[in-house]
C-alpha cells in the first residue's frame, strides 16, 4: 500500500493536549476488540501498513499519527514529547468511546504505551512492545542532532528527505529495502512546516519521561517482540523490561533491525493465526458506545498473541 492510499483511508478528529486543540489523523477500520498501534520517530502510522489492515477482519484496528507527525497537526507551538503523546492517546480513545484497549507500540510509540500502561492500568488489557524506548535507552545521537535548531535551519526539505532516506536504507534489514516503505516514511516531511515539526519532535525526546515511570507497576500481559540486530534500542533493554514486568514474554527476532513492523511484519500476524504454542488472543478493549526473502521460523513459547 502506498502512502497516498493509506492517507486517504484515514479519518481525523480534534483532541485536547494541554492547552491546545490539535488535529489527529488516524486509521480506524474493522470491528471487534480494539487494537491500537503506535509509531515512533521519525515514522508515522504508515509504519503499520503491512500489519494493521490484515487484522481488521477480526478486530477494530486504530492507528493514529502522533501529533507532529504524518497527517496530524504539525504547526509550531505545542509539546511533542511522549508525555504529550500519552495525553493525546488518552484523549483520542475517549473521543472514540473506548474504555480498554490492547496496545502495540514501536520505538517512541512503545514509550507512550509503557507510560499509558503504568498510568492507566485499567485501560490497557495487553501490551506489545517492539524495540521501544525505555529507561535511559534514548534519545539516540542522530535524533538529538535533528532537534538542534542550528541543524534544521541549515537543512532544506530536500536535504532532510535525503538524509532520512539514507538512514532507512542503511538500517532496514536486508539488501533490498522496500522503496514503497521508504517513500512513505519520508513523504510526510515534504514542507517547511514539516521540516520544523520534525526538529521539534526530535528535541522533545526526553529520557526523564521513561526513567520517571516504574515498569514493575504494569499489570497488562506483555509481549516484547524485539529485533535482535538493533543498534538503536538493543535487546538488553528488552531483557530488562522482561525482568521488571511481572507478566512478560520476550521474543528476540532474527533478521530484524530496528524497524520490526517492516522487517518482520509476519510476526504480528502469526500471533493472530495461532501458529505459536500456548497462544491466546491479544486484547479485549471494550467499547462503550519482499516475497524473495526465505521463510522465517516462528518464535517458540509465546504466551500472548495479536489476535
Model confidence at 270, pLDDT cuts 50, 70, 90, reads: confident
Per-chain mean pLDDT for the chain: 90
Q: Is the confidence at residue 275, as pLDDT, over 80? A: no
Q: Is the confidence at residue 261, as pLDDT, over 50? A: yes
Whole-model pTM? Answer: 0.90
The angle at the Cα of 46, spanning 44 to 50, to the nearest 5 degrees, equals 140
Q: Is the confidence at residue 68, as pLDDT, over 90? A: yes
Which region holds residue 79: left if phi is over 0, alpha if psi is between -120 and 50, else beta?
A: beta
d(CA 14, CA 22): 5
- The predicted pLDDT at position 302 comes to 39
Domain boundaries, the chain: 3-138+207-273
- The predicted pLDDT at position 272 comes to 59
d(CA 103, CA 227): 18
Please state the rounded mean pLDDT for residues 232-246. Answer: 98
- The predicted pLDDT at position 162 comes to 97
- The predicted pLDDT at position 271 comes to 66
Please state the rounded mean pLDDT for residues 210-216. Answer: 98
Please state the rounded mean pLDDT for residues 53-81. Answer: 97
Please state the rounded mean pLDDT for residues 175-185. Answer: 96
- Report the percentage of the chain scoring pLDDT > 90: 87
CATH architecture of the domain with residue range 3-138+207-273: 3-Layer(aba) Sandwich (3.40)
Asked if 285 contacts 127 with a C-beta cutoff of 8 angstroms, the reply is: no
Task: Give the CA-trace dihedral at 213, 215, 220, 223, to 10 degrees.
Answer: 130
DSSP string spanning 119-173? Answer: H-GGGEEEEEEES---TT----HHHHHHHSHHHHHT--HHHHHHHHHHHHHHHSS
d(CA 115, CA 8): 30
- The predicted pLDDT at position 1 comes to 93
CA torsion through residues 77, 83, 85, 87, sign? negative
Amino acid at each position: 500500500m502506498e502512502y497516498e492510499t493509506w492517507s486517504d483511508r484515514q479519518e481525523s478528529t480534534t483532541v485536547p493536549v494541554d492547552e491546545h486543540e490539535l488535529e489527529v489523523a488516524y486509521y480506524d477500520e474493522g470491528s471487534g476488540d480494539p487494537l491500537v498501534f503506535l509509531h515512533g520517530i521519525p515514522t508515522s502510522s504508515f509504519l503499520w501498513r503491512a500489519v494493521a489492515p490484515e487484522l481488521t477482519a477480526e478486530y477494530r484496528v486504530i492507528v493514529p499519527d502522533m501529533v507532529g507527525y504524518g497527517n496530524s497537526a504539525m504547526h509550531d507551538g505545542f509539546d511533542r514529547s511522549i508525555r504529550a503523546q500519552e495525553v493525546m492517546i488518552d484523549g483520542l480513545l475517549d473521543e472514540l468511546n473506548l474504555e480498554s484497549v490492547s496496545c502495540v507500540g514501536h520505538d517512541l510509540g512503545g514509550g507512550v504505551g509503557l507510560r499509558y500502561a503504568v498510568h492507566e492500568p485499567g485501560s490497557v488489557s495487553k501490551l506489545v512492545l517492539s524495540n521501544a524506548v525505555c529507561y535511559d535507552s534514548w534519545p539516540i545521537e542522530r535524533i538529538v542532532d535533528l532537534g538542534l535548531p542550528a541543524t534544521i535551519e541549515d537543512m532544506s526539505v530536500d536535504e532532510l528527505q535525503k538524509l532520512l532516506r539514507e538512514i532507512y536504507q542503511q538500517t532496514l534489514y536486508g539488501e533490498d529495502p522496500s522503496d514503497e516503505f521508504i517513500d512513505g516514511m519520508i513523504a510526510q516531511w515534504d514542507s517547511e512546516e514539516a521540516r520544523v515539526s520534525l526538529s521539534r519532535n526530535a528535541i522533545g525526546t526526553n529520557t526523564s519521561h521513561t526513567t520517571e515511570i516504574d515498569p514493575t507497576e504494569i499489570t497488562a500481559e506483555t509481549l516484547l517482540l524485539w529485533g535482535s540486530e538493533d543498534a538503536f534500542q538493543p535487546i538488553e533493554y528488552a531483557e530488562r523490561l522482561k525482568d521488571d514486568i511481572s507478566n512478560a514474554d520476550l521474543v528476540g527476532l532474527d533478521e530484524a533491525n530496528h524497524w520490526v513492523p517492516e522487517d518482520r511484519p509476519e510476526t504480528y500476524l502469526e500471533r493472530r493465526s495461532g501458529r505459536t504454542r500456548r497462544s491466546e488472543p491479544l486484547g479485549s478493549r471494550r467499547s462503550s458506545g519482499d516475497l524473495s526473502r526465505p521463510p522465517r521460523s516462528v518464535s517458540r513459547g509465546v504466551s500472548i498473541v495479536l489476535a
